[in-house]
């Protein structure tokens, strides 16, 4: 009897991966950048992380309890949203600001649209953009007791040159910035982990970063230090590996992912080089999120035997 063929409803091929396991992998991948950020900026950075994650988890739990919806806190998606939002915060920010951003991200951007899988843009980035608009001064204040001065992107915007020592400091993380974006090496460790676990494809991150590099070379300066500073500075590497690759708000088609990465790079380059702000990753990603349905419409492959080209 054990050799009999079991006939059941589809799907017939199942994966052991669950939402919880994927979200856990994303959390693990962010630990190097998180640990470096706390080491670099101090205890208050850890408090920002704890408060933001707690605000996201509690917002999801309370909303679902009040609305009598199934509880989904255990899938860890709210934890991921909280970590991404916290790592996009200045280390010295008052704790109530990222907490407010967490509530906005979970309730307004995620739960009001039906919960995980239904949000039209990345909740963490939407929360960050909400805070950037509402509290621009606090969100752009990177001065600390031990770290002060302009960020590398602000220096580029002001026309200052970057040398090899500056680039090494940016790669390691000895610069001012948000908690999770400063160390490129820590972010690359996390990105490699996600790629090795097959949680993400490298199409979007690689296309995104290369497009920014080409854009900066063509429309900025024909100088490799300048181009590398744009890659290592700001939230480009963080955004490319951890935010642009969000399953819900990025294309599922291979061609669509390439188009998405190019669009992200062009928008980021436009914001950085021609815009009023030195950064542009967050706005580039949420704008591109809105265009994902259009991208997928034109890059979705035709089903076999359907809609073939007429001779």
Number of domains making up the chain = 1
CA distance 147 to 169: 13
| Contacts of 85 by beta carbon, 8 Å cutoff, 6+ apart | 52, 56, 98, 101, 102, 105, 124, 127, 128
| Token pair belonging to 4 | 């009999």
CA gap 86, 49 in Å, rounded: 5
pLDDT of residue 167: 85
Range(s) of the domain holding residue 100? 19-297
pLDDT at 16: 72
* Residue 1 placed within a domain: no
**Two tokens at 261?**
């990465």
Residue 303 in domain: no
Residue 74: CB atoms within 10 A of its CB come to 11
Low-confidence ranges of the chain (pLDDT < 50): 1
Q: What is the pLDDT of residue 161?
A: 73
Q: Residue 116 maps to which CATH number?
A: 1.10.3430
In whole angstroms, how far apart are CA 59 and each of 51, 70, 85, 138? 12, 14, 14, 23
Q: Do the domain assignments include residue 111?
A: yes
223 within domain boundaries: yes
Q: Is 236 a domain residue?
A: yes
Question: How much is the pLDDT for 159?
Answer: 75
User: What does the pLDDT read at residue 187?
Assistant: 96
Measure the CA–CA gap between 214 and 218, rounded to whole angstroms: 6
**Which pLDDT does position 310 carry in this prediction?**
55
Residue 265 tokens read as 């790079």
| pTM exceeding 0.85 | yes
The total number of residues written for the chain in this structure: 311
Q: Is residue 4 part of a domain?
A: no
pLDDT at 308: 55
Assigned domain for 242 exists: yes
**Among 129, 111, 130, 120, residue whose Cα is nearest residue 61:** 111
In whole angstroms, give the CA distance from residue 294 to residue 292: 5
What is the rounded CA–CA span in Å between residue 23 and residue 29? 10
pLDDT value of residue 242: 95
64 CB-contact burial (10 Å; exposed 0-12 / middle 13-18 / buried 19+): middle
pLDDT tens for each residue of 63-118:
999 999 999 899 999 999 999 999 999 999 999 999 999 999 999 999 998 888 88
Cα–Cα distance for residue pair 176/168, rounded to 1 Å: 14
Q: If you search the block for the tokens 């590996």, which residue do you land on?
A: 241
240 close to 184: Cβ distance less than 8 angstroms: no
In a domain, 306, yes or no: no
């Amino acid at each position: 009897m054990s050799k009999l063929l079991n006939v059941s409803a589809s799907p017939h091929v199942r994966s052991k991966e669950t939402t919880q396991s994927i979200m856990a992998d994303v959390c693990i991948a962010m630990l190097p950048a998180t640990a470096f950020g706390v080491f670099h900026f101090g205890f208050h950075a850890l408090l920002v992380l704890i408060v933001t994650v707690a605000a996201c988890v509690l917002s999801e739990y309370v909303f679902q309890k009040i609305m009598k919806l199934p509880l989904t806190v255990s899938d860890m998606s709210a934890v991921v949203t909280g970590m991404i939002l916290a790592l996009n915060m200045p280390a010295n920010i008052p704790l109530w600001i990222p907490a407010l951003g967490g509530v906005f991200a979970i309730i307004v951007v995620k739960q009001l649209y039906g919960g995980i899988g239904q949000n039209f843009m990345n909740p963490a980035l939407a929360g960050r953009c909400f805070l950037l608009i509402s509290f621009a001064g606090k969100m752009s204040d990177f001065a600390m007791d031990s770290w002060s001065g302009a960020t590398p992107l602000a220096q580029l915007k002001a026309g200052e040159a970057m040398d090899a020592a500056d680039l090494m400091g940016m790669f390691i993380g000895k610069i001012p910035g948000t908690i999770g974006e400063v160390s490129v090496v820590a972010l690359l460790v996390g990105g490699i982990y996600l790629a090795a676990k097959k949680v993400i494809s490298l199409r979007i991150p690689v296309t995104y970063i290369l497009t920014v590099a080409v854009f900066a070379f063509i429309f900025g300066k024909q100088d490799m230090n300048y181009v590398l500073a744009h890659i290592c500075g700001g939230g480009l590497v963080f955004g490319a590996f951890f935010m642009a690759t969000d399953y819900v708000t990025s294309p599922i088609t291979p061609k669509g992912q390439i188009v998405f990465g190019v669009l992200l790079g062009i928008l980021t380059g436009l914001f950085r080089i021609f815009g009023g702000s030195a950064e542009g990753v967050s706005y580039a990603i949420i704008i591109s999120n809105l265009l994902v349905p259009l991208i997928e419409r034109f890059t979705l492959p035709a089903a076999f035997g359907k809609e073939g080209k007429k001779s």
